[in-house]
Structure 1
Amino acid sequence: MKPFKSVLAAVLLPLLCIPAVNAASPERFKGHMMLLADDLLAGRDTGSIGHDFASLYIASELQKMGVQPAGDNGSYYQVVPFKQSTLDMESPKMVVSKDSDSIEFEFMQNMLMSADINRESSSVSGELVFAGFGIDAPYLNYTDYDGIDLTGKIAVILSDRPHTFPSEEGSHFRRLISDSQVKHGAIGTIVVSTPTSEKVSPFEKRKLYVKTPTTRWLDKEGEVHNGYPQLQGGALLSIEAGKQLFGMAGMDLAAIYEKIENNEPLTSMPMGLTATLEKKSVLSETTSPNVIGVIEGSDPLLKNEFIILSAHSDHIGISKNSVLKDKINNGAMDNASGVSTLLEIAHEFHHAKEKPKRSIIFTFVTGEEKGLLGSEYYAEYPTVPIENIVANVNLDMPILTYRTNEIIAFGATHSSLESTVSSTLLKNEMKLIDDPMPEQAIFVRSDQFSFVKQGVPAVFLVPSMATEVKDALGVSPQTFLAKHYHMPSDDLNLPIDYEWAAQFVEINYAIARDLANTPERPSWNSDSFFATLGKK
């Protein structure tokens, strides 16, 4: 370990000695990026030594700035306990039977499984029941569970949602499928890909993540949060395998896909089939820190309210299935850029002539890539009363390889944050634009949603992704998403524009400052569904 620490010290010491200035600094921003996206950190996987060193660096920067610790026991850290499960790649087996006929689906060919977070060996058998999309959404007057009995049975569902659903609300209810299945007595789930899901997350790409450990956080009683032990087995089928399954039941999956496209209702029903799903998993436990600091507000009353700024510090580590020579996923844009932005915002707040009226919490969360786990843990166990957190601004994957005068604030239309963000941008000669890809439901897919579920109005800020850029001069958002997202090439070799990065810091600082100084507490719009999610 001594050589490793010596090399790390050689990297850290020059960065820690960068002279402080009051404004956002392109050089200081680059210094953060040089460490956070270096090969030495091996992709900052949750629970890894690389992520631990990234967290140490973040905490040391906050200490150097004079930002006060706001973690547990007077420290900068909130240590999150995790349980992890890795799939035994030789073990998955799925056999479907009808009378004396049976089909065994081939793992890693037309069927995928993930590790079981609850048990080392799992085996479940039961009747198959088609349950549409598996969605139970009273708010949208929709359910797939009428007229069927799932007690002790395995649900077969489609990896999609009704196309008439509002995208963000629909994605939220899709995330609650496991809750719905447990509520209705299911003991397992078979998910079938659809043409729509293939466009968003292709079956072939999902194969790349099968070896990735399943990770969940443990509550204060040591229980797995959202472990769903009642669901004893699960599998994902490709479209062709789905057609084979439905064909065995005498059902036409292509006709069902057509119904989805035509917005026609689906009919849930028993399929007349039985299935057995088996697998083995290797269980372990680890920890990984959230890093938290606070700058106390100046107003005697408003300082007891908090604006929480967040960015995830983890990434996806080292690729296990990649055929590329470079297997380290450095995560420069995802999310070293967001962390660097937040560190520079903290620097500006600390050196500002006037302190903000409300207090500002800086949260660098772990486990985002595992399912928003670190932010979810913090939102469940906040280090200040959750009712005193009045707004969240999240920074996740700002792609800083091109310039724009337009900013997206995912989720802004649901709360009064839209007005503040828009007016601040205008003062800074920037423009707030509408979500250019509402079908992606980005608002429910990053760390801000952990706070939304606790009733906190939130926005997720990124530069416009509709900008056209000639890749000879930069890397366009479209090119980044197609060629570099969650790939080893998301590294410091990208043409990162550090002058623009510093300007992006200034924009975000201005938004956070205005939110902290606005007399009125931010609030949800009365007609927003997300206003209903907070704790009662």
Structure 2
Amino acid sequence: MFYVKPVKLFTSAICLLGMVFSSHIIASDKFNDVYNDFDISQVKAHIKHLSSDKFGGRAPSTPGGKMTTQLLVDEFKKAGLTPGNGDSFLQPVPLTSIISTPQKDLQIGDIEFTYLKNYVANSRLPQKQISIKNSELVFVGYGINAPEFQWNDYDGIDVKGKTVVVLVNDPGYASQNPKLFNGNTMTYYGRWIYKYEEAARQGAAAAIVIHETKPASYGWNVVESSWSGAQYHLPASEINEPALDIEMWITKNKAEELFKKASLDFQTLKKQALNRNFKAVPLNLKASLTLNSKIAESVSNNVIATIPGSKASDEHIVYMAHWDHLGTSVINGQSKIFNGAHDNASGTAGIIAIAQAFKKLSVAPKRSMTFIAVTAEEQGRLGSRYFANHPTVPLNKIVGLINMDSLNITGLKKDVKVVGYGKSELEKYLAKAAKRQNRTLTPEPTPERGYYYRSDHFSLAKKGVPGLSAGGGTIPLNKKEAQIAKKVGKIVGNCYHQECDEYNEAWGWDGIKADLQLYFETGYLLGNTHDWPNWNEGTEFKAARDAMMH
């Protein structure tokens, strides 16, 4: 049978499968009983509650955000966990909120731009007003300076005080050449945040990223919803990266219009930009824009709780999930609540369920289990970045991290999708846990989207801590689950960072339960070994891990 208890089945749907339960069973300390007793009704209740309008979309430093952290503290206390930050469950995270509004729309020659419709603009600098005036535009291809790939789009060009125009993603994805960068798999160089940072390092005043749906992996509606309203940032004392005066996106249509105005062909230059010998092209156009900003200082909280290990309490397995979403925004004069049921009320409910499961064991794992619900992930992983800078557990004492960002709601799967497949030895433990469910590990089907660099595990991975992001899969278990996957998959695709990300009884709840069991056992295995799984050879984070462990 598939997903079977030693004694009874956990769901009637699975009862029909007639498959054989894996021999990989842990018989001690009530593990099997706890494994099979995940209360999906309680997970449902938490997701439904957290994604209700009452919480207003769970933005940091809002009443809804404070209600969320209080709920987490109450649940961890009720389950019997101990505070994870000294004598407190809370780790205060200082935030700067900036609401940037154009004084008037972007001006480039006589091209007409309309805010939100075809461009967005923000500044992360805490200034009430900031401008670029007659700033020369330069097309710098993908805007990448990567010595290890013998690539420098800024070679031979001085962009100080100018506005750079850049393509989204990286040359490997665009060319589908496996020998260029990482081929179809996006590197960090393909992320928009890198492009803004590199432009700032080069001395640019502003940068414009050209949006295209496939290489960005989301539509313009996501840019519109994510970049309007309050944008949160860590204070300057916490940031090592430089910042531009103004960061912008424009639609592809406007980019084509802009290049035509410069007597250039957008598609031709895109192709030229795939060559490592590409040279930046001045567009002989100038941009002007003034942003008025409302600035507010506030504090949000990471919530941290621990179950001390029975033998090696100084060594920690970390479970992480972000509790925040986009909050409430006014778009085109209408107030819209982005409730984020899937992203990430699901992961928030999941981290509570797994903490409760570990407390039900008769003997705690040898190593400590630490649960971190972080704030402001949607604003650039701010809560996890702050934790990485101010860890409550020494980073070289974290054995590994399991991140839960949007649980699998598309039903039971035969496989387990691993984001960043092949990066670390943590996958060996995940594979053992998956064997119990007769599942095997498979790489994510869309590595070009760069998901590994888009969630909280990346904040600690950059410091060297091995992080795992996995769940769901690509192959539905049977026809019934395939129908769920088809129906709910459309919702997931259409509702990312949209109002329609709402609680839905039609979700594949058995898939959620199976993945929570998977995460539970993976952490359990790590918690009862003496091993220190590392990054695999050739992974960009291995040097940092090796350095911290010596």
TM-score above 0.5, yes or no: yes
CA contact (8 A) 1:26 1:498 kept: yes
How far has the Cα of 1:227 moved from its partner? 7.2
SS at match of 1:439: helix
Matches within 5 A, 1:108-187: 108-125=116-133, 126-163=135-172, 164-166=180-182, 170-172=187-189, 174=191, 175-187=193-205
The structure 2 residue matched to 1:84, chosen from 79, 97, 104, is 97
How far has the Cα of 1:264 moved from its partner? 7.5
SS at match of 1:78: strand
Of stretches 376-385 and 150-159 in structure 1, the one that deviates more from structure 2 is 150-159
Q: Does 1:329 align with 2:324?
A: no
The structure 2 residue matched to 1:189, chosen from 192, 207, 212, is 207
TM, length-normalised to structure 2: 0.83
Q: Does 1:28 align with 2:38?
A: no
The structure 1 residue matched to 2:462, chosen from 450, 453, 461, is 453
For residue 18 of structure 1, what is the aligned residue in structure 2?
none
CA contact (8 A) 1:96 1:276 kept: yes
Change (3 A) 1:161 1:469: farther
SS at match of 2:137: strand
Change (3 A) 1:475 1:338: farther
CA contact (8 A) 1:78 1:292 kept: yes
Of stretches 306-315 and 178-187 in structure 1, the one that deviates more from structure 2 is 178-187
CA contact (8 A) 1:469 1:476 kept: no
Task: Give the counterpart letter for 2:233 in structure 1.
Answer: R
Moved over 6 A (4+): 468-472
For residue 242 of structure 1, what is the aligned residue in structure 2?
255
Q: Does 1:480 align with 2:488?
A: no
TM, length-normalised to structure 1: 0.86
Q: How far apart in 2 are the matches of 1:412 and 1:154? A: 36
The structure 1 residue matched to 2:68, chosen from 54, 76, 86, is 54
Q: How far apart in 2 are the matches of 1:516 and 1:404? A: 26
* Count of residue correspondences: 501
For residue 442 of structure 2, what is the aligned residue in structure 1?
433
Task: Give the counterpart letter for 1:513 in structure 2.
Answer: Y
How far has the Cα of 1:323 moved from its partner? 9.3
Of stretches 401-410 and 514-523 in structure 1, the one that deviates more from structure 2 is 401-410
Q: How far apart in 1 are the matches of 2:75 and 2:447? A: 36
SS at match of 2:428: helix
Change (3 A) 1:492 1:170: closer
Q: How far apart in 2 are the matches of 1:522 and 1:353? A: 26
1:303-343 CA distance string (max 9 Å, x none): 3221111011111223532899x943332222122122211
For residue 278 of structure 1, what is the aligned residue in structure 2?
290
Percent identical pairs in the alignment equals 28
Q: How far apart in 1 are the matches of 2:463 and 2:494? A: 35
Change (3 A) 1:210 1:294: closer
Q: How far apart in 2 are the matches of 1:232 and 1:320? A: 24
CA contact (8 A) 1:411 1:458 kept: no
CA contact (8 A) 1:121 1:279 kept: yes
For residue 384 of structure 1, what is the aligned residue in structure 2?
393
How far has the Cα of 1:273 moved from its partner? 3.0
CA contact (8 A) 1:80 1:377 kept: yes
Q: Does 1:42 align with 2:71?
A: no
SS at match of 1:525: coil
Q: How far apart in 2 are the matches of 1:253 and 1:200? A: 20
The structure 2 residue matched to 1:309, chosen from 302, 319, 330, is 319
CA contact (8 A) 1:307 1:391 kept: yes
For residue 17 of structure 1, what is the aligned residue in structure 2?
none
Q: How far apart in 1 are the matches of 2:449 and 2:186? A: 11
Q: Does 1:518 align with 2:536?
A: no
The structure 2 residue matched to 1:504, chosen from 503, 515, 519, is 515
Of stretches 118-127 and 106-115 in structure 1, the one that deviates more from structure 2 is 106-115
Change (3 A) 1:359 1:136: same
Alignment gaps of 5+ in structure 2: 1-32, 173-179
The structure 1 residue matched to 2:270, chosen from 257, 263, 266, is 257
Q: How far apart in 2 are the matches of 1:227 and 1:469? A: 49
